[in-house]
Amino acid sequence: MHGRRVAVTGVGAISALGPDATAFWDSLVAGRSGIRAIESVDHTTLKCPNGAEVHGFVAADHFPDRAQQGLDRFAQFALVTAREAIADSGLAWDDTLRDRTAVVTGTGNGGTISLGDNYERFYGQGNHRMPPGLIPSAMANAGASQVSMEFGFRGPTFTLSTACASSTHAIGHAFWLVRNGGADAAVCGGSEALFTLPQLKAWEALRVMSPDTCRPFSRQKSGMILGEGGAMLVLEPLDSARRRGARIYAELAGFGMSADAAHLTAPSEDGPLRAMQAALDDASTTTADVDYINAHGTGTPGNDPNEIRAIGRLLGEHAEQVAVSSTKSMHGHAIGAAGALEAVATALAVHHGVIPPTANLDEVDPECPLDVVPNQSRTRSIRTALSNSFAFGGLNAVLVFRRVDPAGD
């Protein structure tokens, strides 16, 4: 054990599964997928016309302030989910705690929608006047800065960008700050909003996209489905959370990272394995305590069999007792928000003792021979759970959550 133990006491989420963490969790437990035809972009020229979009999000409903209305969608997602997580935590901030509160966010692309709209006007329509709000509303740290300003959090505040692992890296570093005494509370997570035609075409060009839906660990897996959204967690020392009688979803107990140092897009088996082992070591725990893994599980031939082999090597003889599911089958792959959405899913799974399933799974891939929790959620007490994120560029990040006994242990 290094330093203080850290509790998750608040969560927020916006996704294709609904406007808040309650809707998100209810859909996950029901095995209900939010993947459908893309509406925000004309999908008629796309080979892969489906996505996991946030529906019905109107900025004016959330932001009376005009400057906030002009924020890029990804930053708006960061702000609304931070508000939800902060309210959910029940934590009362005073000035001392505000000085000691960290905000750490992740995003893969930052304000790509705002940039795209304005570049279209610039290059396409020859309008060479750029709005003064573009830079501060589209910068990758726009979300973190907005959260800091709205709540007066004046501690360590920054943004990490590691593609599909961005928000897992963000949560991990926020966790270490609280554990090591660099902060006394943290709001951490990530957000992404990348539904633009050029982005979707660029993802299609990589030939990793599914023409219909996301089927992780399935014999019929056909690629990934892009998603959007955001999720945030409130972290605080376990001792002070207990003292104030907070509802504790789970202990955030470990964080591990690694790099493949091999290939830009094809994952190695060794990199993910070393990240999972590092996370368990960081949590001072072993594979014998692991009951659930929320997998990276993109539904691509590149990821899934490789991840399952790495998990198999990690767990050894214990592998058959561990449930492994991919919730991307329901909320899609939200890139920089993916790790945060899955961290919320994993913390809530530990809290409720319910394992969310892998949806869209009719026939398990013989190359993925573990318990991949097809279609139906499962009641099961979870002692320790991992949440995996493996990014393009070969960058891996893994979080370890642990059940907390209300009476203390």
Distance CA 58, CA 204 (A): 28
Reply yes or no on whether 128 is catalytic.
no
How far CA 406 is from CA of 133, 186, 243, 276, 401, in Å, comes to 47, 22, 12, 27, 15
Say whether residue 47 binds other proteins (CB under 8 A).
yes
Render the burial of 282-308: b for 16+ CB within 10 Å, e for the rest.
bbebebebbbbbbbbbbbbeebbbbbb
Closest residue by Cα to residue 47 from 164, 201, 256, 153: 201
- For the bound state, the minimum distance from the C-beta of residue 378 to other proteins, rounded and expressed in Å, comes to 33
**Number of C-beta neighbours around residue 243 at 10 A:** 9
Tokens of 12: 């927020």
| From 81-89, 90-98, 257-265, 308-316, span contacting other proteins (CB under 8 A) | 257-265
Reply yes or no on whether 333 is catalytic.
yes
Decide if 203 contacts 121 (C-beta within 8 A).
no
| From 101-109, 149-157, 207-215, 248-256, span contacting other proteins (CB under 8 A) | 207-215
Say whether residue 301 binds other proteins (CB under 8 A).
yes
- In this complex, which beta carbon is closest to other proteins, that of residue 136 or of residue 301? 301
Say whether residue 180 binds other proteins (CB under 8 A).
no
Tokens of 270: 């060794």
Q: Which residues in 144-200 belong to E strands, given as ranges? A: 157-160, 185-192
Say whether residue 211 binds other proteins (CB under 8 A).
yes
Contact with other proteins (CB under 8 A): which of 2, 32, 201, 207? 207
- For the bound state, the minimum distance from the C-beta of residue 268 to other proteins, rounded and expressed in Å, comes to 13
User: Choosing from 169, 173, 331, 333, which is the catalytic residue?
Assistant: 333
Q: List, in sequence order, every residue forming a beta bridge with 237; answer none if it has no partner.
A: 6
Render the burial of 337-375: b for 16+ CB within 10 Å, e for the rest.
bbbbbbbbbbbbbbbeebbbbbbbbeebbeebebbbbbe
Decide if 385 contacts 293 (C-beta within 8 A).
yes
- In this complex, which beta carbon is closest to other proteins, that of residue 44 or of residue 125? 44
Contact with other proteins (CB under 8 A): which of 58, 60, 92, 264? 264
Contact with other proteins (CB under 8 A): which of 37, 87, 135, 206? 206
Contact with other proteins (CB under 8 A): which of 45, 127, 180, 265? 265
How far CA 31 is from CA of 249, 326, 328, in Å, comes to 21, 11, 11
Say whether residue 1 binds other proteins (CB under 8 A).
no
Reply yes or no on whether 62 is catalytic.
no
Say whether residue 302 binds other proteins (CB under 8 A).
yes
- For the bound state, the minimum distance from the C-beta of residue 48 to other proteins, rounded and expressed in Å, comes to 9
- In this complex, which beta carbon is closest to other proteins, that of residue 152 or of residue 211? 211
Tokens of 328: 């991307």
| From 105-113, 143-151, 260-268, 374-382, span contacting other proteins (CB under 8 A) | 260-268
Say whether residue 219 binds other proteins (CB under 8 A).
no
- In this complex, which beta carbon is closest to other proteins, that of residue 11 or of residue 209? 209
Binding site for other proteins (CB under 8 A): 47, 205-207, 209, 211, 223, 263-266, 301-302
User: Which residues does the annotation mark as catalytic?
Assistant: 164, 296, 333
